[in-house]
Amino acid sequence: MGRLRYPLRRIIEGLITLFIVMTIIFLLFRVMPGDPLSIVIDPKMTPEVKEMIRHSYGLDQPMFVQYGIYLKNLFTLNLGESFRYSQPVSEVLAARIPNTLLLFTSASVLSAVLGIILGRIIAWRRNSKLEYGLTLAGLFFYEMPIFWFGLILIYLFAFRLNLFPISGMIDFELWTLGATTGEKIIDILHHLILPLITLTTASFCGMMLLMRTSMVETMKEDYVEAAKARGLPDKVVRDSYAARNAELPVITAFILSLSASIGGGVLTEKIFSWPGIGYELYQATIGRDYPLAQGCFFILTLMTILAVIVIDITYAYLDPRVSYD
């Protein structure tokens, strides 16, 4: 019984959070100045046509009616229709989310793995040249504008050395003029590598420093000293004593970064012409495509709430001291 009550409570809390966030997002878009019709503006368009468009977007209704419809739609998981694409938001998202997952989620995973591995190494070898070198390099890439960094990588590795494609997720000529499934998979992977390297290089540092800090803290714990005194091999002490405990906060950050990764990244998607959701969200916000922007935020909020629940569950699994009975 008790075991069930906790998750149930979390789910209810999550739903309430979702409701509040979605309400704020609704209001935010309405309060923000800007006309959704700005994307269709044309001097030859008569006021009557503008009125027709406004009506078909549902913008001629009073705000509370719009809000009511919005809530009703959310309840039935209907995210509405994008103004710009005149297509259900769910369809637009469904087309973009897998692309985003492929790039940004793999990058999150990769930078977490890299960050945890490097973080534990430099924490273990504190004050070594390796620590200074990795921290400096990590911070350098972390602080570098990703647009610029991506451009340099594209110029060097794609344009000059011809190792990778310049941009996009697929080779359009190859795809449209006929390729086998195998070739297509290789092609996507081929396109994936450069943006993946860019993102990972730019973001592993956060994880690395977090891991390092957390590990340095854990290394002060008695059980780590004790394990050393027990004469356990260095690697065992590092990995199953110090790192194992230091990973807990890092895993929280990792799961949150996973949930955030679904939002993609505007600049990366722009420079690599990656058809992900970040650029779409940006365009939707700029063009006041309320349904599309709201849909993006809905997914992002949902993922964050899920991530927090997942973190709780993972914690109970990783740290036996935590239990939710």
Residues in 201-230 that interact with another protein by CB under 8 A: 221-223, 225-230
Out of 80, 287, 291, 295, which residue is the one contacting another protein (CB under 8 A)? 287
Which residues are registered as beta bridge partners of 211? none
CB 147, CB 270: distance < 8 Å: yes
Helix (H, G, I), strand (E, B) or coil at 45: coil
Helix (H, G, I), strand (E, B) or coil at 88: strand
- The Cα–Cα gap between 293 and 26 comes to 10
The interface region with another protein, picked from 2-10, 70-78, 80-88, 251-259 by CB under 8 A, is 80-88
Binding of another protein by 294 (CB under 8 A): no
The CA angle 90-96-98, to the nearest 5 degrees, is 105
Binding of another protein by 149 (CB under 8 A): no
- The Cα–Cα gap between 113 and 107 comes to 10
Please, what is the minimum distance in Å from the beta carbon of residue 21 to another protein?
23
- The Cα–Cα gap between 321 and 85 comes to 51
Out of 269, 293, 298, 299, which residue is the one contacting another protein (CB under 8 A)? 269
Three-class DSSP labels, 151-166: HHHHHHHHHHCCCCCC
Q: What would the DSSP string read from start to end of 175-217?
A: HHT---HHHHHHHHHHHHHHHHHHHHHHHHHHHHHHHHHHHHH
The interface region with another protein, picked from 137-145, 183-191, 256-264, 291-299 by CB under 8 A, is 183-191
Out of 5, 30, 38, 156, which residue is the one contacting another protein (CB under 8 A)? 38
Out of 201, 262, 288, 303, which residue is the one contacting another protein (CB under 8 A)? 288
The interface region with another protein, picked from 15-23, 240-248, 291-299, 304-312 by CB under 8 A, is 240-248
Binding of another protein by 271 (CB under 8 A): yes
Q: Binding-site residue total for another protein (CB under 8 A)?
A: 101
CA distances from 270 to 102, 172, 264, 276, 277 (A): 16, 17, 11, 9, 11
For another protein, which is the closer residue by CB, 241 or 305? 241
- The Cα–Cα gap between 21 and 17 comes to 6
Binding of another protein by 245 (CB under 8 A): yes
Please, what is the minimum distance in Å from the beta carbon of residue 325 to another protein?
13
For another protein, which is the closer residue by CB, 210 or 243? 243
CB 21, CB 301: distance < 8 Å: yes
Out of 22, 99, 265, 278, which residue is the one contacting another protein (CB under 8 A)? 99
Out of 89, 103, 169, 296, which residue is the one contacting another protein (CB under 8 A)? 169
The interface region with another protein, picked from 72-80, 153-161, 291-299, 306-314 by CB under 8 A, is 153-161
The interface region with another protein, picked from 20-28, 66-74, 158-166, 204-212 by CB under 8 A, is 158-166
From the list 281, 278, 283, the residue with the least C-alpha distance to 267 is 278
The interface region with another protein, picked from 3-11, 13-21, 286-294, 298-306 by CB under 8 A, is 286-294
Binding of another protein by 312 (CB under 8 A): no
Binding of another protein by 105 (CB under 8 A): no
Per CB under 8 A, contacts with another protein among 9-28 are none
- The Cα–Cα gap between 318 and 321 comes to 9
